[in-house]
Structure 1
Amino acid sequence: MNKPKRFLIILSACFATTIMTNSVATEVNLKPVVDQSAKINESAARSQQKIDRLAEQIDNKLQAFKAVNKEIDGLKVYNAQMSRQIENQLLQMQSLSDSIEKVSVIERQITPLMLRMIDGLKDFVALDVPFLEEERKTRIDSLETMMDRADVAVSEKFRRVLEAYQIEVDYGRTIEAYSGLASLGNGSGEQEVNYLRIGRVALVYQTRDRKQMGIWNQNERRWDPLDDDFRSHILKGLRMAKKQMAPDMIVVPVSAAE
């Protein structure tokens, strides 16, 4: 009875030994494959990392390329605008160059014009109502002296001449009171009087004691005496011209137009 049991035990042991031998053999045969597979996996992981890096670099390059293209588009618009401005500046330069070439011609023409204007202004003042004679004569003398000066630009000379004309124009639409000397023609010589100028319509005087009054007769180029009826009006006009009272109606004699 004991022999069969030992036989089974021996068979079992042999079977187990056979299995263990086969497992060891299998493990020995599969190890190169497993090692190679691990190497392949490591290589694939490294390749994937490389691909990721390349993809990131490509994305960065693409973004930089888009930014450069956008900047190029902006530069094209800017260059087009600058080109138009340069063309306009070239036209202006040409216009200025033409004007500069004509300056000497204009200067030669405008100087005789100013001299004629000054002569005309001198004649006008001499024939005009004789108010502020010394002031107006001094202004004309100053213009004549200025025309001979080399340190005064032609533009400034022309401005001064126009300014003198404008002053004369303003005299015709203003009222003014000032003091001066007048020859009354009564043997008393010159006396200090108050003048009242109403535009160029009337120029009258009144002595300081208010007893004598006169009006300039432009047609006869002389002073004519005024009646006492005008005394209050002349006094009112003097006060108005000196800003001592508000503007009001006054009566003065005027010469009839011819």
Structure 2
Amino acid sequence: MKFFKKQTNNLIVQAVVLFLGGCAFVFPSTGWCRTDTVKQVKQPVEQSVQIRRETQKQRDQWEQEKSKLALLYEQLKQEHEMLVSENKDLITTQKSQKKLNQTLLKQQQESLKIQKELFPFLKELYAQLSTLVANDPPFLKEERAVRLKTLEQVIHDPEVCIAEKYRKVMEALFIEAEYGATIEVYQDKVLIGTEEVLGNIFRLGRVSLFFLSLDKQSSGYFNVAQKSWLPLADDHLPAIRSAVEIGNKRRTVELLPLPLGQLAIQGDE
């Protein structure tokens, strides 16, 4: 801009000098002619300079506006590229979600099918378990009865999922199966003849139940065929006492001559 202004001023001076020189040559003795001629020359030159200045000003403004628009364009271009990339990612995610939804729907349908098939099976298992407990020797009667009642409520509760029902049934079966491989001693009252006696009961797996009075002077066993407690002869007392001590972990395990009797066959009256 400074160079432009300097050049413009030089042009004005040169034009004025040339014009005045020419005017002096034509009208050497007329002062009025020089003054009027200078004005006539200077006015269009100044107008031309003003126009160039306005033009340059507009050009500078346009360059600034052009720079701003170029910067805005680059920003919008970058945002567009980002949006295109995000759109591609969303399309990929949408496809994955759609595929996952289809898989989950298929699994849900299979789960419903399993539930429909598994529920009758669990009810049958519960019925068999109830029959087993009813026909078993009467050990831990209250505990096992409570377990069966709770299990029945779980099986028929619509709020409990089929997986939890299955877990509870398997848990009950496992506990009942474990009775067959363990021994146990606990206190309870038994009815021998017409007399109810409190004593220690020795459970030998699921095979036999033996009774020993608290004074250790009398013993008995549960007859599975008659479903009643019967007294034992005194010659069995040493073995029953040893069994109770082993069950209470007061004595090391050893072979004992216990009177197992006969096993009841299911269906026999």
**Per the shorter chain, which TM-score range?**
0.5 to 0.7
Segments of structure 2 that go 5 or more residues without pairing to the other structure are: 1-26, 259-269
Q: Distance in 1 between matches of 2:159 and 2:219?
A: 45
Q: In structure 2, what is the equivalent of residue 131 of structure 1? A: 139
Q: Distance in 2 between matches of 1:72 and 1:60?
A: 18
Residues 1:83 and 1:178: Cα distance change in structure 2 (over 3 Å): farther
Tell whether the 8 Å contact from 2:202 to 2:243 is kept in structure 1 after alignment: no
Between 138-147 and 64-73, report the one with greater CA deviation.
Answer: 138-147
Q: Distance in 1 between matches of 2:30 and 2:167?
A: 125
Aligned residue identity for 1:251: V
Q: Distance in 2 between matches of 1:133 and 1:92?
A: 50
Q: In structure 1, what is the equivalent of residue 55 of structure 2? A: 47
What is the CA distance between 1:195 and its match in structure 2? 4.9
What is the CA distance between 1:91 and its match in structure 2? 1.7
Between 56-65 and 192-201, report the one with greater CA deviation.
Answer: 192-201
Q: Deviations over 1:209-257 (max 9, x none)?
A: 4666789899xx98874355566555545xxxxxxxxxxx84365799x
What is the CA distance between 1:176 and its match in structure 2? 6.6
1:70 partnered with 2:82: no
1:193 partnered with 2:195: no
Aligned residue identity for 2:195: G
Tell whether the 8 Å contact from 1:202 to 1:252 is kept in structure 2 after alignment: no
Segments of structure 1 that go 5 or more residues without pairing to the other structure are: 1-18, 238-248
Choose the corresponding residue for 1:160, options 143, 154, 168: 168
Between 53-62 and 226-235, report the one with greater CA deviation.
Answer: 226-235
Q: In structure 1, what is the equivalent of residue 20 of structure 2? A: none
Q: Distance in 2 between matches of 1:58 and 1:159?
A: 75
Residues 1:115 and 1:140: Cα distance change in structure 2 (over 3 Å): same
Identity between Structure 1 and Structure 2 (%) = 23
What is the CA distance between 1:193 and its match in structure 2? 3.0
Secondary structure of the structure 2 residue equivalent to 1:131: coil
Between 66-75 and 106-115, report the one with greater CA deviation.
Answer: 106-115
Q: Deviations over 1:48-84 (max 9, x none)?
A: 2211221121111111111111111211221112112
Choose the corresponding residue for 2:129, options 112, 116, 121: 121
Aligned residue identity for 2:77: N
Q: Distance in 2 between matches of 1:58 and 1:110?
A: 75
Choose the corresponding residue for 1:83, options 77, 91, 103: 91
Q: CA RMSD in A?
A: 4.4
Q: Distance in 2 between matches of 1:99 and 1:195?
A: 51
Choose the corresponding residue for 1:95, options 97, 103, 109: 103
Between 190-199 and 158-167, report the one with greater CA deviation.
Answer: 190-199
Aligned residue identity for 1:53: Q
Q: Distance in 1 between matches of 2:60 and 2:223?
A: 111
Aligned residues: 223
Q: In structure 2, what is the equivalent of residue 14 of structure 1? A: none
Q: How does 1:16-55 map to 2 (within 5 A)?
A: 21=29, 25-55=33-63
